[in-house]
Structure 1
Amino acid sequence: MDGFSLDAASIGIFLLVTLAMGGGAAWMTGSGLARGWRPFWHCALALLLIAAVTRFLHYALFEGTLLSLPAYLVDAAAILAIGAVAYRYTRTGQMTRQYAWLYERTGPLTWRDRTSAPTP
């Protein structure tokens, strides 16, 4: 199987390996590093390694191309997106729970200063 084809089997493999397995690992990594108050670049490096592991899983389990830059970039983009959302979601919860007198949640991924809240 080609490293970057768009037939039904390769889409199913992408959904299983990259999104389900790699995405689950990315979510746990992003959330865990945010809970440990690590900077985001630590998370980004770990997520790029997870993308390399998912590329290896494509190769080892489904005879995909191991060294395919386009396939790695697609895997890395999906995994970085999932991990970044997990990191930001967890960090938003931390900031609004631990510093409730300073910040309020404005959405699932954002917060703002309480002093900048609009007054009625």
Structure 2
Amino acid sequence: MVKENALLWEVTFWEFFWITIVLAGGAAYLTGRAVARSWSSGIQLAVYMIMLTAACRFIHFALFHGTLLSIQYYIVDLIVLLIFAFIGRQVTRAKQMTTQYSFDYQRSGAAGWARKT
């Protein structure tokens, strides 16, 4: 396949979709869940996403002849993975708060909680 070199992906859109969004995005979501279950901070989750983004860039490099050390595409991948990770963390945290503190909190949407009145 011919590289597209778009603003958001270096390889073709489908390679970006399957590797960054589906594969690494799924791993980022699960990492966000794990961080929420251990009641760790968002900073720790961000550090994990920096490492996962490096692995994602390596997969682009090794399988699809992408650039390994490209700041632009590294930042794009990092932002995508941070979004997935913090969504996973927030959804899990909302479930934790409403389950463990059900006497004080109730669900407010898929990723939120509110005090009972």
TM-score after normalising by structure 2: 0.90
Q: Where does residue 110 of structure 1 map in the other structure?
A: 112
Report the number of matched residues. Answer: 113
C-alpha offsets along residues 63-93 of structure 1, whole Å, 9 cap, x if unaligned? 0000111101110010000000000000000
RMSD, aligned α-carbons: 1.7
Structure 1 letter corresponding to 2:41? P
Q: Percent identity?
A: 35
Q: Where does residue 85 of structure 2 map in the other structure?
A: 83
Q: Distance in 1 between matches of 2:53 and 2:12?
A: 17
2:63 aligned to which of 57, 61, 80: 61
TM-score after normalising by structure 1: 0.88
- Unpaired stretches in structure 1, ≥5 consecutive residues: none
Moved over 2 A (4+): none
Q: Distance in 2 between matches of 1:90 and 1:45?
A: 19
